[in-house]
Amino acid sequence: MARILLIGAGGQLGTDLRSVLPSDTLVPLTRADLDVTDLEAIEQILARHRPAWVLNTAAFHRVDDIEKDERGEAQLAFSVNAVAARHLAIACERRGARLLQLSTDYVFGGGPPGPYAEDASPAPLSVYGASKLAGELLVRQAGSRHVIVRSSGLYGVAGSAGKGGNFVETMLKLADAGKPIRVVDDQVLTPTYTADLARAIAGLIASNPPGGIYHLSNSGQCSWYEFARAIFALCRRTPELEPTTSAEFDAPARRPPQSVLRNTRAASLGVPLLPPWREALEAYLRVKKHRVD
């Protein structure tokens, strides 16, 4: 079988991809194994393993730190999210490999005509979103066979090392600490369980897809406040939870008020739609052994 090189194998999505991709053909690489900003290291890795596919889940996604840019985070975001993606795409093109680059709903600005199909025009509101869009454009420029997968609101069992966990676990920790919780109710998206996303990516690769952009997220939509409320209801928690607005919350980086993705291209190839977001949340909570109704 064709060899698959997985970059970011120790991350939230990478961990779930390792569980669904064939272990005998998978080469998992963590941050310690490969610095994605090092072009020479990329060339050496591809020459050694000669993969058919390279899956790049590595990203710098501390959205508010990137926006504040107090210690060069914006430059690092473009280095990891854009320049490194270009290096990978060019190296894959030279070696006859295909690149799957993970991207984000934050490339959109939240205005009409969302929910967004794959061909909708991006308009990022944040530096992070701009860095991911730059990565998309550079990957597409490097070769027509490469694949870009956009998703949204990721959470998984492994958690995100860069963010110290994920939204679900953060909400439960705040509830257990007895703290009042405010969550924005004017940002609508589809939270996506990385176990479901990993299975969909595996199915997409198996379909030998044409190059281009694919949206893969759980189905349905909710606000972050509605997501938090569902978490607490399923786990039988009753914290002091209040909705707030993006303006009142006043985060450094702007988020799109509406970034729901239409999953059309993958479905046309026979890749099953991902489950509804609430069903996915229930599955996650069971795996984590949180109390679920």
Catalytic residues: 128
Identify whether the C-beta of residue 211 lies closer than 8 Å to the C-beta of residue 146.
yes
Q: Are the CB atoms for 78 and 125 separated by under 8 Å?
A: no
Question: End-to-end CA distance of the chain, in Å?
Answer: 42
8 torsion bin: left (phi>0), alpha (psi -120 to 50), beta (else) = left
Distances (CA, A) of 199 to 74, 148, 258: 32, 16, 25
Question: Hey, what are 68's tokens?
Answer: 């504040």
Q: How far does CA 173 lie from the centroid of its chain? A: 23
Cα(18)–Cα(5) distance, integer angstroms: 11
Kindly state the tokens that stand for 91.
């190296």
CA 256 from centroid of its chain's CA atoms: 15
